[in-house]
A and B are shown apart, each in its own frame.
Chain A
Amino acid sequence: MTQILKDFPSIASLRSALDERKISSVELTQTLLKEVAAQNELNAFVDLNPELSLAQAKAADQTIAAGQAQILTGIPIAHKDIFVTKGWHTTAASKILKGYKSPFDAHVVEQLIQAGTVSLGKLNCDEFAMGSGNEHSAFGPAHNPWHPKVVPGGSSGGSAAAVAAGLVMAATGTDTGGSVRQPAALCGVSGIKPTYGTVSRYGMIAYASSLDQAGPIARSAHDLMLMLDAMSSFDPRDATSIQNCRGVANQNGRIKQDFTQHSQRIEKQGAKPFSGLRIGVPEEYFGLGLDDGVAKAVTAAIAQFEALGAQKVSISLPHTRLSIPAYYVIAPAEASSNLARYDAIRYGHRTEQYTDLADMTARSRSEGFGAEVQRRIMLGTYVLSHGYYDAYYLQAQRIRRLIAEDYQAVLGLKCDVILGPVNPTVAPPMGEKNQSPTAEWLADIYTLSLNLAGLPGMSIPCGFAPGFDGQALPVGLQLVGNYFEEGQLLALAHHFQHATDWHSRRPESATGALV
């Protein structure tokens, strides 16, 4: 963790320092850019444009000097290389988009620029967001700041690594099957995937359209809240963008207000802030190849909730197991269609030698796409093809409904929030999952269902467990709420983080002790 961001453990603390002119945005940005270079081995960043970052910082300083700073003015962030950006290249961590310059910014990027943030650059990820270890990247793997030989998680590995290493205050990520929550968990930071449709997908390079959702990664729930609030608003350019969240307009301010209301209610309960809160713990979750150390940490965290007044309720999510085959039919199917546009005609890598158009397209695509991407395109093409559509794609979509119904049967009725693990293990060593194509996929068991159902979920650090080399590595706790309940989840996490300090642990300390 960089010294500078150790000094500012939260956006709020940095905000004060900036406003009091203890530090300028330009100084901060310069220092962090140096740190990025110094921690090059981390391979968290894939594109930098120092001039542009400093220009943004300068503008932020002017705004601050004029006394017009917003909460995020001058705060250093970075964007996953899935969001198109005008000033930096966008590649989706793929060779096929090498050198691509987008003529427009993603909605999320626009929103965060408007909020006054300073972007340090683009962050590494799994190619086209397909993967859970950031090992499928044309730029090489990103590393976990806790140990250089373990994965940071994926697909938003670079985002989680950059936050955990103190290179940025917060980062944007995308979550299609767990790609914000899981890397956050493996890197000991916090991450949230909001309700589907609350954050615009305009400018987010599409992987699986009905599952993709953008979300921030940061070092605390409160910071997540500030970021998510700035990112969430109705966007007419995305036909799946929600206008109304159960009667409340989808605009900046909604999440902040919701968070504040819940937070105040929780605070009023004094020593037992979680009185009245029913936490559902799915009986299916403990046993599915869940690592002992992880189970221990998660169980302890749940016990902590109880100690703070919550009531544990055992619930059942009977179709949990089916989320894996359902996801790995739906996501590749949509991806195979979304990635068809990479044909070397209007942009992207074009092969040197070819006989005709079809040959040019095929060779360019196979040279440009990595193995995992091609695998999913093949799979997706197959399940949509004539004769298989009903048995695979439609069947998966029916099972998707069963999974979503599982949650509706319990949320609000039997429990107010669902708690559980994010990943079956701590961060695995790099290069481990190369045996069979599906080995990597099985670990997604705890996260996939939320994307299938469109529900909000977040991951917060809740302890450590022994991993590679006997090293203690971070464990994440997942919180799941009903549609549009991001504010409540964040408030619960925020108060958990009041009562605990897992989220304050830094990567230098191998034992997890505070440094």
Chain B
Amino acid sequence: MNWEVVIGLEAHVQLSTISKIFSGSPTRFGSAPNTQANAVDMALPGSLPVLNHGAVERAIRFGLAIGANISPRSIFARKNYFYPDLPKNYQISQYEIPVVLGGSLSFLVDAQPTTINLTRAHLEEDAGKSLHDNFPGPHGEASTGIDLNRAGTPLLEIVSEPEMRSAAQAVAYARTLHNLVVWLGICDGNMQEGSFRIDANVSVRPFGQKEFGTRTETKNVNSFRFLERAILFEVQRQIELIEDGGKVVQETRLYDSDRDETRSMRSKEDAHDYRYFPDPDLPPLVINPEWVAQVKASMPELPQQLSERFANTYGLTQVDTLQICNNRETAAYFEAVVAQLAGNQGKLAANWLNGEVLAALNRDNLDMSSCPVKAVQLAALLTRIIDGTLSNKIAREVFAAMWVGESGGEPDAIIETKGLKQINDSGAIDALVDGVLAAHPAIVQEYRAGKQKAFNSLVGQVMKAGQGKANPQQVNDALKRRLDS
């Protein structure tokens, strides 16, 4: 059975306002419990919500950045359910008419350009936190502690269409979204502190089937690594379950990183009846065209625009620029590198950034701001490729050494220390070629007999003899000269 994976992601993004969405309490992270929760956040009798302008402004910015529609009139609704970290026992959210509708995100997955459409984005309030240590209750019973500092922090819930078909795509989408909200300055992106959380809706269906399979929701994943693991586990679990004759149950699950598995949360059958209705305490949110224009005018150059600019200026393709332009720091890095290179070396810089640099960052779980190789250093390395001192292959060796800080990360020093200079001297290359031809008469025979593959084999031998430092073009030419004479 060929299975197709269907994934939709919901991101809960904490907006970077200094006060909460419906109260004047601070949003700072890490304070002593309940010292940042006022009467409104604690839902004391008689308290009322008032909406924060800054939260709306950030939602508008996001909507513009993804090419979505900003609803001129959106409604806040109450989502009613009982939970101890939800002080009113309803969450103020948006239901039928959210502030942002539509939009899309484009990014690369394994060098393939991909565009995922978004369904909507809406404003809502975050809940407090439950601490499950065994505190002593009023009768001495083991109790959970509730901290409402986080309750009322503004969230933008961003919902994608269920268009992703692999964990890799989902992770790439998530990273792109994360980069964007940080780029726009609407979220600090700190996943350890819970500023950016993902819920993954996962289902499987036989290839070709039109209907979606039953989906599960894995909630509150706060790292890209865990997101990938959770999706992979869930897909596997669902497939095995179905193939064993079982049925996937629509439910909420949590990812357990210690065991690398997803677990069903306590089933809340009645949790599906949220009894949404427009919040009578909050009249409709009106966003007029003037406000949207104002926000648009104050926006930084967007990834898409930057991407086009780079493509035009440096003659690059979308494949080249998409990844670079999804992150402000990466884009700045790119520009810094090309600025140091003579002529238009945009393609070379883009290849290296999209290739070696990003791969190394991912591998070491770093972001661009912590990249150990500075733009000026990479530019120096690329200069050595351009001037023929290094082949691409050897350059990668040098890069690896720069990454771990050998010789202070300076390419020339590393080349010197490791003796990696490319051999460009024709005399030296001729000598290598002669040596190989003499040592491998059988392969020479094969070549003369018409086997083209034998030529490649000889090239390989010469490269080996020269420890990879021989200029590959010159090796090719020299071999041809010798063999065809």
Which residues of A line the B interface, CB within 8 A? 83-84, 90, 92, 97, 100, 102-104, 106, 201-206, 208-210, 236-240, 333-334, 337, 340-341, 343, 345-347, 350, 357-358, 361, 381, 384-386, 389, 393
The contact of B281 among A236, A239, A346, A386, by CB within 8 Å, is A239
Contact in complex: A206, B46 (CB < 8 Å) = yes
Q: Let me know if A84 and B46 touch, CB within 8 A.
A: yes
Complex: A20 Cα to B46 Cα, angstroms: 39
Q: Are B87 and A346 in contact (CB under 8 A)?
A: yes
Are A340 and B90 touching (Cβ within 8 A)? yes
Known A350-B138, A389-B277: A341·B46 in contact at CB below 8 Å? no
CB–CB B50/A100 < 8 A: no
Of B39, B49, B88, which contacts A239 at CB under 8 A?
B49
Q: Are A240 and B283 in contact, CB atoms less than 8 angstroms apart? A: yes
Sample of 14 A–B contacts (CB below 8 Å): A84-B44, A102-B44, A203-B46, A205-B46, A237-B48, A237-B50, A239-B51, A240-B280, A333-B277, A337-B277, A340-B80, A340-B82, A343-B89, A346-B44
Which residues of B from 26 to 73 have beta carbons under 8 Å from A? 39, 42-51
User: Using Cβ atoms and an 8 Å threshold, which residues of chain B touch A83?
Assistant: 46
Partner among B47, B50, B273 whose Cβ is within 8 Å of the Cβ of A386? B273
Q: Are A345 and B277 in contact (CB under 8 A)?
A: no
Asked if B89 contacts A341 (CB within 8 A), the reply is yes
A100 and B273 contacting across the interface, CB-CB below 8 Å? no
B444 at the interface (CB under 8 A from A): no
B interface: dominant SS: loop
Known interface pairs A205-B45, A346-B43, A346-B44. Does A341 touch B280 (Cβ–Cβ under 8 Å)? no
Cβ distance A78 to chain B, nearest Cβ, rounded Å: 18
CA distance A300 to B44 in the complex (A): 47
* B residues less than 8 Å from A361 (CB atoms): 82
In the complex the two chains form, is B84's CB within 8 Å of A345's CB? yes
Query: Within 8 Å of chain A (Cβ to Cβ): is B384?
Result: no
Contact A102 B46 (CB under 8 A): yes
B275: interface (CB < 8 Å) = yes
B84 neighbours in A (Cβ, 8 Å): 343, 345, 357
**Interface residue? B282 (CB, 8 A):** yes
Besides the known contacts A202-B48, A347-B44, A386-B272, 13 further A-B residue pairs in the complex with CB atoms under 8 A apart: A102-B44, A104-B44, A106-B46, A202-B46, A202-B47, A239-B48, A240-B281, A333-B277, A340-B82, A340-B88, A345-B84, A346-B44, A357-B84
Instruction: Flag if B48 contacts A201 (CB, 8 Å).
Output: yes
**Most chain A CB within a 10 A radius of its CB, from B47, B51, B80, B275:** B275
A389 and B275: CB pair below 8 A?
yes
Given contacts A340-B80, A350-B138, contact A239 B45 (CB under 8 A): no
Are B82 and A358 closer than 8 Å at their CB atoms? yes
For the complex, give the distance between the alpha carbons of A236 and B22 in Å.
Answer: 12
Min distance, Cβ A361 to any Cβ of chain B, angstroms: 6
CA gap between A93 and B367 in the complex, in Å: 58
Taking the closest CB of chain B, its distance from the CB of A387, in whole angstroms, is: 9
A347 to B44, CA, bound (A): 8
Whether B109 sits at the interface, judged by CB under 8 Å, is no
Closest-CB distance, B128 to chain A (whole angstroms) = 10
- CB distance B90 to A337 under 8 Å? yes
State the CA gap A83–B281 with chains docked (Å): 17
- For the complex of A and B, the 4 pairs showing the least CB-CB separation, nearest first, are A340-B89, A384-B275, A209-B280, A210-B280
| A358 partner residues in chain B, CB cutoff 8 A | 82
CB of B178 within 8 Å of the partner chain: no
| Separation of A208 and B280 alpha carbons in the complex (Å) | 9
Q: How far is the CA of A350 from the CA of B276 in the complex (A)?
A: 28
Roughly how many angstroms separate A357 CA and B277 CA in the complex, as a whole number?
A: 26
Q: Once the chains are docked, how many angstroms separate the CA of A203 from the CA of B47?
A: 6
Query: Which residues of B are at the interface with A, using a C-beta cutoff of 8 A?
Result: 39, 42-51, 78, 80, 82, 84, 87-90, 138, 146, 272-273, 275-277, 280-283
Decide: A236 and B50 in contact? CB cutoff 8 A.
yes
> How many whole Å from A366's CB to the nearest CB in chain B?
14
Across the interface, name the chain B residue whose C-beta is closest to A393: B277
A201 to B50, CA, bound (A): 12
Q: Which chain A positions have C-beta within 8 A of B82?
A: 340, 343, 358, 361
When chains A and B are docked, how far (Å) is the Cα of A386 from the Cα of B272?
9
In the bound assembly, the distance between CA atoms of A445 and B301 in angstroms comes to 61
B residues near A384, Cβ cutoff 8 Å? 80, 275, 277
Shortest CB distance B136–A (Å): 15
- A240 to B283 CA separation, bound complex (whole angstroms): 7
Chain A residues within an 8 Å CB radius of B49: 239
Q: A91 CB to closest chain B CB, in angstroms? A: 10
Pair A239/B283 contact, Cβ less than 8 Å: yes
> Is the CB–CB distance between A346 and B42 below 8 Å?
yes
A239→B282 CA distance, assembly (Å): 6
Please give the distance in Å from B266's CB to the nearest CB on chain A.
11
- A82 nearest CB across to chain B (Å): 9
Q: Kindly report which residue of chain A lies nearest to residue B34, judged by CB atoms.
A: A346
How far, in Å, is A97 (CB) from chain B's closest CB?
Answer: 7
> B51 contacts A386, CB within 8 Å?
no
B46 surroundings in chain A (CB, below 8 A): 83-84, 102, 104, 106, 202-206
Closest B residue to A387 using CB positions: B273
- Bound-complex Cα distance A102 to B45 (A): 8
> Which residues of A lie under 8 Å from residue B90 when comparing CB positions?
337, 340
In the assembled complex, the Cα of A209 lies from the Cα of B279 at a distance in Å of 9
CB distance from A345 to the nearest CB of B (A): 6
Q: A237-B50, A357-B84 are in contact. Are A104 and B39 (CB under 8 A)?
A: yes
Contacts of A238 in B (CB 8 A): 48, 50
Alpha-carbon distance between A333 and B282 when the two chains are bound, in angstroms: 16
Alpha-carbon separation in the docked complex, A150 to B44 (Å): 35
CB distance from A346 to the nearest CB of B (A): 6
Complex interface: chain A residues within 8 A of B276 (CB)? 389
The residue in chain A whose Cβ has the minimal distance to the Cβ of B275 is: A384
Chain B proximity of A197: nearest CB distance (Å):
10
Decide: B50 and A337 in contact? CB cutoff 8 A. no
Contact assessment for A385 and B275 in the assembled complex, using a CB-CB cutoff below 8 Å: yes
Known contacts A238-B48, A239-B282; A337 and B39 CB within 8 A of each other: no
| Chain B nearest Cβ from A385, distance in angstroms | 6
Report Cα–Cα, A204/B281, bound state, in Å: 13
Contacts of A100 in B (CB 8 A): 45
- In the complex, the answer to whether B146 meets A345 with C-beta atoms within 8 Å is yes
Q: Which of A201, A204, A337 contacts B78 (CB 8 A)?
A: A337
Are B48 and A90 in contact (CB-based, < 8 A)? Answer: no
**Which residues of B lie under 8 Å from residue A389 when comparing CB positions?**
275-277
Distance to closest chain A CB from B137 (angstroms)? 10
Contacts A210-B280, A239-B49, A389-B275: A337 and B80 contacting too (C-beta < 8 A)?
yes
Minimum distance in angstroms from B145 CB to a CB of chain A? 11
